[in-house]
A and B are shown apart, each in its own frame.
Chain A
Amino acid sequence: MTQPRTIDCETVRDLAPLYVLGALDAAEAAAIREHLAHCDDVHAELQELAEDAGSLLLSVEPADPPAAVRSRLLAAAESDLRDGRHPSVAAGVPVASDSAGDAEARDRPLPPAAAPAPSAVLPPAAASVPPATPARNDSAATPAGAEPVARSATPPVDLRVERERRRLRWATLGAAAAILLAFALGGYALTLRGQLADEQAYRQAVDQALQLAAEPGSATAVLAGAANASAGLGVIGADGRVELAMRGLSSTPGREVYTAWAIGPDGKPRSLGDFEVGGAGTGVASGTSPVTGAGTVLAVTREPGPGATTPTLPIVASGSATSASG
């Protein structure tokens, strides 16, 4: 095993170019990841360098992999679902065959009560695992027979017909709706860290936000931070009710709090309430906003104490609400 050692911010900045290029040894890279996971500095320089490094990926000549790779990939992914290795299926719990909701309820991000919200977003049929059709070779990329599936231990899975059939179904999935789902599943990582109470609060908040999002006239905002991993989901109901779930925040020591704000067309921020954040990095808030509808901006700031009436910059995360229609 490579033992992560402790390094300081200066060392991280010094090694940053080599880190983003992948030219550090395993121990050095692990030490940087360890540092980033706990550092209050967002290390924005890393993001910029990663952009530079990422452009190098584009200099590479694309090449078509043999069709067998697709078959092996899909076969492996399918057995993930079957064997409970995929996050969408509960570890050790057999995949429920009766309801679409259960197929993705790995550790129950949504209690049954929330079912109307996700199923309004996701056609139930799409949730079932398509049956493997083992016979045909995938001939999309290579002429039939050009690549015998010699290296494949598992039968090839061909989904081309399925794919065509499902294309339209995917089109009905709005991007915002899909992101809602991603947030619903995001609580999964918390389970691994054993932050049970925080995880439940986060789940509940996402659940409430999803229910609110399903109501007519509501607007949904995906909140994103500038350079760190903070992100969140906020929904404003037609009546001004706001449900907010945030993750990836640093914890709040002492009297410090995060404050949620709604910013309407007049540009004036109004506090929606304060919340604290513990080791799990999640925070939830409910409040009432005097401004509603698409275009309302939801934002989160860090404040020295509760009851702030004007936000202390910088904004930790923000997002503009859009009407929740698929």
Chain B
Amino acid sequence: MSRVHDDPVAKPGRLEEPADETLLAGLAAGRLEALDTLYDRYRSMAFGIARRITADDALAEDVVQEAFLGAWRGADRYVPGKGTVRTWLLSIVHHRAIDAVRRRRPAAELPSEQDGARTPEPLVLPDVWGEVAGNLDRDAVRAALGTLSDVQREALELAYFSGLTQVEIAERTGVPLGTVKGRVRLALGALRRELESSGAGGAS
């Protein structure tokens, strides 16, 4: 299927570079060299995301390692029709980073057990992940974020990059739960419209 070849990230110029989905099949088959190549391709984005969320280099390193290990063990759970390998992989990094931040917090803040400190929980692989348009770049997304209102941008930042839950965001920002929910929904919609109208992407 041509989709495999369409992702510009999966095609770094040289013809002999394997497509992301090829690498993922290699992961499922237990090929270390496929893991190595996939790691090479996305380690910088993965580490950037992990560091942004954890604000802790050592923890971010663990997150990246665990996320790629999760992809290695769960490669057969990737569904080709649901999005690119890139977003699947980076979603795993995101999930893992959020988990790490929450586990790091003092036990009093944790609703349940505290034993997560050293034994990593089983990795929950994403069941929904987006197909981010291949032509989107960092500048376009940042510019689009810049057009949001301050409260919308703050809501997105707290929800996506801080590891806070909706309840904690409501406490932190001093607004009711329903307002948090509404802001986040509006912010995502506004972000999509802005990205679409700037011609930088969108789903189709």
Give A contacts to B, CB under 8 Å.
1-2, 14-15, 17-18, 20-27, 33, 36-37, 46-66, 68-70, 72-74, 76-78, 80-81, 85-89, 103-104, 122, 126-127, 129-130, 140-141, 151, 157, 159, 162-163, 166-168, 170-171, 173-176, 178-179, 181-182, 185-186, 188-189, 222, 224-227, 229-231, 248, 317, 319-320, 322
Please state if A23 and B184 are interface contacts (CB–CB under 8 Å). yes
Q: Which one of B43, B94, B195 contacts A22 once the chains associate, using CB atoms below 8 Å?
A: B94
Q: Which one of A33, A55, A72, A179 contacts B201 once the chains associate, using CB atoms below 8 Å?
A: A55
Please state if B26 and A23 are interface contacts (CB–CB under 8 Å). no
Please state if B29 and A181 are interface contacts (CB–CB under 8 Å). yes
**Closest Cβ–Cβ distance, residue B151 to chain A (whole Å):** 15
Q: Which one of B35, B130, B144 contacts A77 once the chains associate, using CB atoms below 8 Å?
A: B35
Please state if B44 and A63 are interface contacts (CB–CB under 8 Å). yes
Max count, chain B CB within 10 A of own CB: residue among A18, A52, A122, A127 = A52
Please state if B4 and A185 are interface contacts (CB–CB under 8 Å). no
With A86-B73, A178-B26: A74-B35 Cβ-Cβ less than 8 Å: yes
Bound CA span A182–B30, Å: 11
Listed A/B pairs (7) with beta-carbon separation below 8 Å:
A18-B184, A60-B49, A87-B74, A181-B25, A181-B29, A185-B29, A320-B1
Please state if B130 and A47 are interface contacts (CB–CB under 8 Å). yes
With A17-B184, A53-B160: A179-B21 Cβ-Cβ less than 8 Å: yes
Residues of A within 8 A of B105 (CB): none
Please state if A47 and B82 are interface contacts (CB–CB under 8 Å). yes
Majority DSSP secondary structure for residues of B touching A: helix
With A57-B90, A163-B36, A225-B81: A322-B72 Cβ-Cβ less than 8 Å: no
Residues of B within 8 A of A126 (CB): 31, 33
Please state if A77 and B69 are interface contacts (CB–CB under 8 Å). yes
With A50-B128, A55-B141, A63-B44: A73-B76 Cβ-Cβ less than 8 Å: no
Please state if A86 and B30 are interface contacts (CB–CB under 8 Å). yes
Give B contacts to A, CB under 8 Å.
1, 4-5, 15-19, 21-26, 28-37, 39-40, 43-49, 51-52, 58, 60-61, 64-65, 68-69, 72-83, 87, 90-91, 94-95, 98, 111-112, 124, 127-133, 136-138, 141-142, 144-145, 156, 158-161, 163-167, 169, 180-181, 184-185, 188-189, 191-192, 195, 201, 203
Bound CA span A207–B17, Å: 28
Residues of B within 8 A of A166 (CB): 33
How many residue pairs, one in A and one in B, have C-beta atoms under 8 Å apart? 293
Residue of B whose beta carbon sits closest to that of A51: B130
Bound CA span A108–B12, Å: 35
Please state if A20 and B145 are interface contacts (CB–CB under 8 Å). no
Please state if A182 and B25 are interface contacts (CB–CB under 8 Å). yes
Please state if A73 and B35 are interface contacts (CB–CB under 8 Å). yes
If A68-B61, A224-B79 are given as contacts, then 8 extra A-B residue pairs at C-beta distance below 8 Å, sorted by A number, are A21-B160, A51-B203, A54-B129, A56-B156, A63-B51, A69-B61, A73-B39, A77-B72
Please state if A65 and B64 are interface contacts (CB–CB under 8 Å). yes
Please state if A54 and B35 are interface contacts (CB–CB under 8 Å). no
Residues of B within 8 A of A73 (CB): 35, 39, 64-65, 68-69
Bound CA span A80–B73, Å: 9
Q: Which one of A55, A65, A141, A157 contacts B191 once the chains associate, using CB atoms below 8 Å?
A: A55
**Closest Cβ–Cβ distance, residue B143 to chain A (whole Å):** 10
